[in-house]
Amino acid sequence: MRDFYGVRLDSRLMLGTAQYPSPAILAEAFRASGAGVATVSLRREQGAGQDFWALIRELGVRVLPNTAGCYTVKEAVTTAHMAREVFETPWIKLEVIGHADTLQPDPFGLVEAARILADDGFAVFPYTTEDLVLADRLIEAGCRVLMPWGAPIGSGLGLNNRYGLRALRAHFPEVPLVVDAGLGLPSQAAEAMELGYDAVLLNTAVAKAGDPVAMARAFALAVEAGRLAWAADPMEPRDMAAPSTPVIGKAWLT
């Protein structure tokens, strides 16, 4: 497992804490998932109060606050500073949204906010696209982790640009990469891990499932299977068929 800002996690699954039917189901889903990180919105915590924060503490996982819903650099930076005080961690999942319909990140604002926060001692986890140039700029700004989307947040579409995600992995072999957003099925999480990604982050696919606890367990197994498959050096696809049964020793009729 790669280090995330010097922290080695036990699980490659990161899970969000919003939209669950009840706090009890949220806690049970986390236990079933084995997730090592919980993403938490400052706005949600403020609205839910101390009971929600106490529940998050009881999960026994690392907290990754986010700047969800921020559309400007100033708003994102201010939210990050507030989150650092509330959650007592320098970790921040940085979101600077640029498009209201797709929730696509604003690349210019994202880099600016990342630089400000990194200079101020934050461990920035930027929610970004799979763009290689943007990735370079974020690393130059001080980010040591990249979190490209698989698809728009909450869409469940999976990996919309496998080529781009594969290229990102190839160009930044030493940078921890996390597929963040858009995953709807465990098979999509397994596919992300098969591309060599270090972790996946998701929320809606578990929280809005008919059985969130069962779905959390399914994602946990998929992430493990995908990582094992990548580490096993899978065969390359080919255009032509190749017999799986050897022909040595086969009787030849004349």
Find residue 145's DSSP bridge partners.
none
Strands 123-128 and 37-41: unpaired
**Nearest-CA neighbor of 130 among 98, 160, 94, 91?**
160
The SS3 assignment for 102 reads coil
Per the annotation, the verdict on 74 as an active-site residue is no
What is the Cα–Cα distance from 195 to 227, expressed in whole angstroms? 9
- Which DSSP symbol is given to 237? P
CB hemisphere CA count around 165 (13 angstroms): 25
The Cα 205–Cα 191 span in angstroms is 15
Cα dihedral sign, 107-111-116-118: positive
Query: Taking a C-beta distance cutoff of 8 angstroms, is the pair 11, 222 a contact?
Result: no
C-alpha closest to that of 68 among 49, 45, 37: 45
Alpha carbon distance 124, 91 (integer Å): 6
Strand, helix or coil for residue 127? strand
Catalytic residue among 74, 93, 208, 250: 93
Cα separation, 37 vs 97, in Å, equals: 22
Catalytic residue IDs: 93
